[in-house]
Amino acid sequence: MAGHEFRLEQVLKFRKEVEKMHQLELAAAKQQHETARDRLRSEKAALEALEQEFAQRQLNGIEAKDLQLYGDFSRRKSQEIHGMRESLVGLEKVVQEKREALLTAAKEKKALEVFKEKKLRDLRMEQLCKERAFLDEIAIQSRGGQK
């Protein structure tokens, strides 16, 4: 088996590299998703803090121009948060697609590894059969010489 090389070894190496590439892409997509989710949390917290500050200012009395500023800023923040939620859904889809691509690549690599193992097992069995036949031949020849 040392003299025999798996003919599809280069294909197997390529599939391993493709799987690694998909792993890296999935990790990058997950990182992007996490970053976007953290930013969304941060923006929600900022909006909540703004709303609390606004409520406090209302208790103390607020001028009309400040009321308008708070309203405009609050609407803009709400729109940004809505946009972030939509982009987060898109990023979740990207992560799922990358996960599926990795799964496909892993299956293809595994299929080739199983094929390689089967070929090596067949080669070992063939070699054992040849060795048995050779030993049987030696045994027959040595018995023939004793008669």
Residues 123-145: what's their mean pLDDT? 88
pLDDT > 90: percent of the chain: 61
On the CB side of 87, CA atoms within 13 Å amount to 16
Among residues 105, 94, 99, which one has the least CA distance to residue 17?
A: 105
Reply yes or no on whether the pLDDT at 16 is more than 60: yes
pLDDT tens readout for residues 43-88: 999 889 888 888 888 778 877 777 788 888 889 999 999 999 999 9
- Percentage of residues in the chain having pLDDT higher than 70: 95
Q: Which residue has the higher pLDDT, 34 or 5?
A: 34
As a whole number of Å, the end-to-end CA separation of the chain is 38
Collect contacts of 77-85 with beta carbons under 8 A, ≥24 apart: 77/43, 77/46, 77/47, 77/50, 78/47, 80/43, 81/40, 81/43, 81/44, 81/47, 84/36, 84/39, 84/40, 84/43, 85/40
pLDDT of amino acid 146: 56
Please give the full DSSP string across 82-135, using - where no structure is assigned: HHHHHHHHHHHHHHHHHHHHHHHHHHHHHHHHHHHHHHHHHHHHHHHHHHHHHH
pTM score: 0.70
The type of residue at 106 is A
pLDDT at 145 over 80: no
CB 20 within 8 A of CB 134: no
Cα atoms found within 13 Å of the Cα of residue 71, Cβ hemisphere only:
8
Nearest to 78 by CA among 50, 36, 54: 50
Query: What confidence category does residue 2 fall into, taking pLDDT thresholds of 50, 70 and 90?
Result: low
Three-state DSSP class for residue 41: helix
Q: What would the mean pLDDT of 9-38 be, rounded to a whole number?
A: 94
